[in-house]
Chain A
């Protein structure tokens, strides 16, 4: 047992210096999402047609594959941060919270890797008909 007072236990330890990290990451990925999704929406509006061949050739270009991969990473990071807060706000049982958080991480990481792989495969091996 620690016989010191509550204030005595924390005094002098300082902050962890990570207090604003989650908040700041959420804003930075938000700004990234504004830029990247605007690029996607404008690209779609300017698309000559929506045949699979046209889209595959479009997606295989480096100038499209790179922003698409960036968008996937950015969107899934932002979603992870956002859903984390939703879980923290509504799931109060510690065990359920741990499980929900683990599922969330599996979901976003697996989805992002899947999306990156799809785009990279098209870009590296060319568009299949």
Chain B
């Protein structure tokens, strides 16, 4: 099963290598990984989508916790959450077919961000399913180039994965 982890890390050099190295070394499968800084410039947030059963996920969680730079991990899979991904797609389109492609863009609420003599570059955001569908519908026109950001996600409602000076890793009994 796919799990979505929100991981807060110290914004230190090499932190991405530490996390990525851990996954490859221990044979955990990363589906996607997106990283950027948070409102606190010393803290970055990674959204990691990882494939595995409950036992694998338990190890992923525990091994991530052991990294000194990892501050907090939330597996938000079971929660209600909003997830988004951004995709840029460049398709080669004969001017006569531009209208068709623009109609598809409309359906997906995608935007045209560049218009060339023979190409059209589109931007679309949404969850994985929408982005997949968008990609599929442009496939027949000939995709020249495609780039996806990987998924970012956030819990709905009042639950959050935030960093405060007092936040601890969620090792349960570490509080005392």
A binds B: no
What residues make up the interface of A, taking CB atoms closer than 8 Å to B?
Answer: none
What residues make up the interface of B, taking CB atoms closer than 8 Å to A?
Answer: none
